[in-house]
Amino acid sequence: MADFSSRARDIWSARQAAGAYLVVGLTWIVVSDVVAHGLVGRTLAELWTDLAKGSLFVIVTAVILYGLLRRHLRRLEVAEQARVALESRVTQVVESLSEVVWAADLTGERPPWVGGAVEAVYGVSPEAFRARPDLWREAVHPEDRPLADARERSVRQRGEAEAVYRVVRPDGEVRWLHDRARRIDDAAGRPVRLTGVARDITAQKVAELAARHARLHDPLTGLMNRAALVERLERHFDEPDSRGLGVLLALDLDGFGAINAAHGNRAGDQVLSVVGDRLQAALDDTAAVVARIGGDEFAVFLPALADPSGAVDTVREVQSALARPITEVAGEALVSASVGLAAAARLTDSGGALAEHLLRSALGALSRAKVERGGGSAASAVEDVAASAREVRLRVDLHHALERDELFLVYQPEFDLRSGRLLGVEALVRWQHPTEGLVPPDAFIGVAETTGLIHGLGSYVVARACAQAHAWLPQMAERPFKVWINLSRVQLQRPGFAAQLIAEVDATGVPHARVGFEVTESAYADDAGPVRDNLDALSEAGFGLALDDFGTGWSSLASLRTLPIDVVKIDRAFVSDLSPDGPNERLIQAIVGMSHALRLTVLAEGIEAREDVERLVELGCDVGQGFGLGRPGPVEAVEAMLGSPTPMARTALLASLAAPEPTDQGPGHPRR
Per CB under 6 A, residues contacting ligand C2E are: 412, 428-429, 440-442, 445, 461, 486-488, 518, 548-549, 572, 606-608, 625-628, 632
Segment holding 321, helix H or strand E: helix 310-323
CB of 327 to ligand C2E, least distance (A): 54
**From the list Mg ion, ligand C2E, none, partner contacted by residue 595 (C-beta under 5 to 8 A by kind):** none
| Separation in Å, CA 526 to CA 20, 109, 380, 486, 538 | 122, 86, 36, 17, 16
Q: Which is nearer to Mg ion, 293 or 485 (CB)?
A: 485
486 or 584: CB nearest ligand C2E: 486
CA–CA separation, 74 and 261 (whole Å): 94
Nearest distance in Å: CB 569, Mg ion: 5
The item of ligand C2E, Mg ion, none sharing an interface with residue 626, based on CB under 5 to 8 Å by kind, is ligand C2E
Among ligand C2E, Mg ion, none, residue 663 binds (CB under 5-8 Å by kind): none
Picked from Mg ion, ligand C2E, none, the partner binding residue 461 (CB below 5 to 8 A depending on kind) is: ligand C2E
Q: Which does 197 bind (CB under 5 to 8 A by kind): Mg ion, ligand C2E, none?
A: none
Question: Closest approach of Cβ 492 to ligand C2E, in Å?
Answer: 10
For the beta carbon of residue 655, count every other beta carbon within 10 angstroms: 12
Q: Which residue number, 453 or 563, has a Cβ lying nearer to ligand C2E?
A: 453
Minimum gap (Å) between residue 605 Cβ and Mg ion:
5
CA atoms within 13 A on the CB side of 37: 15
3 state DSSP class of 664: coil
Q: Give residue 212's Cα distance to chain centre.
A: 21
Comparing CB distances to Mg ion, the nearer of 33 and 518 is 518
* Residue whose CB is less far from ligand C2E, 260 or 625: 625
- Per DSSP, the three-state class of 151 is helix
Q: Residues binding Mg ion: what is the number (CB under 5 A)? A: 5
Q: Of 372 and 661, which has the nearer Cβ to ligand C2E?
A: 661
- From residue 481 to residue 500, what is the string marking binding to Mg ion with x (rule CB under 5 A)? -----x--------------
CB of 417 to ligand C2E, least distance (A): 14
CB of 549 to Mg ion, least distance (A): 4
Q: How far is the CB of 381 from Mg ion (least distance, A)?
A: 36
Nearer to Mg ion, 249 or 461 (CB): 461
| Contact (CB, 8 A) for 568 and 622 | no
Is 634 in contact with 663 (CB distance < 8 Å)?
yes
> What's the min distance (Å) between Cβ of 487 and ligand C2E?
6
Give residue number: closest CB to Mg ion: 518
435 burial type by CB count under 10 A (0-12 exposed, 13-18 middle, 19+ buried): exposed
What does 199 interact with, of ligand C2E, Mg ion, none (CB < 5 to 8 A by kind)? none
Least CB distance to ligand C2E at residue 631 (A): 7
Is residue 397 involved in binding Mg ion (CB under 5 A)? no
CB of 518 to ligand C2E, least distance (A): 6
CA nearest neighbour of 223 among 179, 149, 282, 168: 282
- Give the x/- contact pattern for Mg ion in 457-486, rule: CB under 5 A: -----------------------------x
- By C-alpha distance, which of 242, 387, 233 is closest to 312? 387
Q: How far is the CB of 667 from ligand C2E (least distance, A)?
A: 16
Smallest separation (angstroms) from ligand C2E to the CB of 607 = 6
Type of residue found at 627: F
441 binds, among ligand C2E, Mg ion, none (CB under 5 to 8 A by kind): ligand C2E
Span near Mg ion by CB under 5 A; candidates 437-445, 511-519, 530-538, 575-583: 511-519
State whether residue 245 is helix, strand or coil.
strand
What are the φ/ψ torsions at residue 345 (nearest 5 degrees)?
-125, 145
Q: Which does residue 311 bind out of Mg ion, ligand C2E, none, counting CB within 5 to 8 angstroms by kind?
A: none
Nearer to Mg ion, 394 or 570 (CB): 570
At 595, the amino acid letter reads S
- In whole angstroms, the minimum distance from the beta carbon of 633 to Mg ion comes to 16
Q: Which of residues 583-612 bind Mg ion (CB under 5 A)?
A: 605
**Of residues 183 and 572, the one with the C-beta less far from ligand C2E:** 572
Q: Compute CA distances 225 → 142, 255, 295, 302, whole Å.
A: 29, 22, 11, 16
Burial-class residue 40 by CB neighbours within 10 Å (0-12, 13-18, 19+).
Answer: exposed
End-to-end CA distance of the chain: 99
- With CA atoms as reference, report the closest residue to 282 among 300, 264, 255, 295: 300
3-state secondary structure string across 177-241: EEEEEEEEECCCCCEEEEEEEEEECHHHHHHHHHHHHHHHECCCCCCECHHHHHHHHHHHHHCCC
- Binds 564: which of Mg ion, ligand C2E, none (CB < 5-8 Å by kind): none
* Phi–psi pair at 340, nearest 5 degrees: -120, 140
Please state, in angstroms and rounded to a whole number, the distance separating the CA atoms of residues 37 and 32.
8
Which long-range contacts link 189-193 to residues 24+ away (Cβ below 8 Å)? Answer: 191/106, 191/156, 192/105, 192/106, 192/107, 193/103, 193/104, 193/105, 193/106, 193/107
With CB under 5 to 8 Å by kind, the binding choice for 551 among Mg ion, ligand C2E, none is none
The reply to whether 200 sits near Mg ion by the rule CB under 5 A is: no
- In order of 187, 290, 498, 502, the CA distances from 505 in angstroms are 79, 51, 10, 5
- Cα–Cα separations (whole angstroms), residue 281 to 274, 288, 305, 399: 10, 11, 20, 36
Choose which of 518, 521, 585, 612 interacts with Mg ion (CB under 5 A). Answer: 518
Measured in degrees and rounded to the nearest 5, phi and psi for residue 452 equal: 85, -5
Site track 544-573 with Mg ion (rule: CB under 5 A), x = hit: ----xx------------------------
- Does residue 521 touch Mg ion according to CB under 5 A? no
Binding-site partner at residue 412 among ligand C2E, Mg ion, none, CB < 5 to 8 Å by type: ligand C2E
**Is residue 664 close enough to count as binding Mg ion by CB under 5 A?**
no
The rounded radius of gyration (Å) of the Cα atoms in the chain is 49
Q: What are the residues binding Mg ion (CB under 5 A)?
A: 486, 518, 548-549, 605
